[in-house]
Structure 1
Amino acid sequence: MTLPHDQQLCQRRQELLDRIGEWCDQYGRARDCVRLLAVSKHFPAGDIQTLAGCGQLAFGESYLKEAVDKLDALAGLHLEWHFIGPMQSNKTRRVAERFAWVQSLDRLKIAQRLAEQRPADLPPLNICLQVNISGETSKSGVEPAAAAELAAAVSELPRLRLRGLMAIPAPTIQFGEQRRGFARLRELFEDLTAAGHALDTLSMGMSNDLEAAIAEGSTLVRVGTALFGQRPPPDGVPP
């Protein structure tokens, strides 16, 4: 018998949390050291409300107009919103005003605008630097060799709090290759921590490579398909 959609969402979340916990056990990590970010882009506000009702409070969005509509619709739920998509200069004000986290920062100019536009009555905006760990020209992200300079500059800006690193390595189904990509980000994270940055967030791992990410030290996994199901077409949603 097929469960109603709302029950399926909550069941998938629990199954996902159970798998994450099992992998933490397998790789000698505490079960509570990996957070789940539900990537809700292109999914309706009703699905987010359902997941919030079964305990999921952190959600990631990539498209600003779509995201703001959901933030407005769900304002009474006090959710934790992460912006995880590429960002142009003309989008920074609304991101600074509405989100708790930005995980896709890769340019100092954008960081400066976010710092200037973050309202003084809100807590500092949590920042992860997006690193182009695989060197793909089609992907956003600061080059690994330039990450330390950007981290130092962002750390000096007011109204921002540098929390860690994020990456989307080149896709592969080979577990060893997945681990090697994530290991490069972890090593960079360790280098920045050794240099004095108080980092606590290593955002890596999505639906198809969660185990490898957890094995290499991820503290936050970004999951859409394995949680919500097959993503619907974007239907012309602007970036």
Structure 2
Amino acid sequence: MRIAAAAQAAGRQPAEVRLLAVSKTWPADSVREAAAAGQQAFGENYVQEGVTKVEALAGLGLEWHFIGPLQSNKTRLVANHFAWVHSIDRLKIAERLSEQRDVHLPPLNVCIQVNVSGEDSKSGVAPAELPELAEAVAALPRLCLRGLMAIPEPTPDVAVQRARFASLRALRDELNGAGYGLDTLSMGMSDDLEAAIAEGSTMVRVGTAIFGSRA
């Protein structure tokens, strides 16, 4: 398996890296098949599609992660149907998730998305603004700040891939030096997971390599 091989090549234990199966645009039956094969954590990018699958597969005990851009008018659905949100990039979204999370549910695990590539079109907080946002998010009730997430610009250059992922790891280390205790680096997808794992990823988001190519 690619994750195990990448971890071993980096001198890490394969168990240190979780596989998040990106099931966006795939039907509930495809998720059910992956779950039957042992996959437990699934990532969705679109709110209504994701909620429909969460409800349809509620009896399977799956762990659902929201990994796409999140608009203010969709936060309530995400707050109460998902266990994780990876894509927080502004305080308003975090505040709404905190306010709307059902008090009977466990705290919502969240990651702050960082724009490590500096792309104007890419979601994510600028690295320089991360400490202020992390401080505010960590103080919110009903949320548990777990780590950082990034989606660097696609490139076949492994050195560039690793540099982007290394920058996210360094940001995590800086926050932990300030006492945050973050345990999650959500980075790496089908085309760059080896570089991400080499730089410390704890969760890779893979769709194509699990479900196949979409028509």
TM-score w.r.t. length of structure 2? 0.99
1:12 aligns with none
Distance 2:214 2:51 in 1: 19
> How far apart are 1:31 and its partner, in Å?
1.5
Output aligned runs, 1:102-121, within 5 Å: 102-121=85-104
2:41 aligns with 58
* Count of aligned residue pairs for this structure pair: 215
Residue 210 of structure 1 pairs with residue 193 of structure 2: yes
Distance 2:214 2:166 in 1: 29
Distance 2:40 2:7 in 1: 21
Secondary structure of the equivalent of 2:210?
A: helix
Residue 99 of structure 1 pairs with residue 82 of structure 2: yes
Structure 2 counterpart of 1:152, one-letter code: E
Distance 1:95 1:66 in 2: 11
Residue 225 of structure 1 pairs with residue 198 of structure 2: no
Percent of aligned positions that are identical = 65
> How far apart are 1:68 and its partner, in Å?
1.1
Distance 2:148 2:196 in 1: 13
Distance 1:34 1:231 in 2: 26
Runs of 4+ aligned residues of structure 1 deviating over 6 Å after TM superposition are none
Larger radius of gyration: 1
Superposed CA offset, 1:169-189 (max 9, x none): 111001111101101101001
> How far apart are 1:78 and its partner, in Å?
1.0
> How far apart are 1:217 and its partner, in Å?
0.3
What are structure 2's unaligned runs of at least 5 residues?
A: none
1:5 aligns with none
Give the RMSD, CA atoms, in angstroms: 0.7
1:42 pairs with 18, 25, 31, which one?
Answer: 25
Residue 157 of structure 1 pairs with residue 137 of structure 2: no
Residue 23 of structure 1 pairs with residue 6 of structure 2: yes
Distance 1:68 1:115 in 2: 18
2:122 aligns with 139
> How far apart are 1:231 and its partner, in Å?
2.5
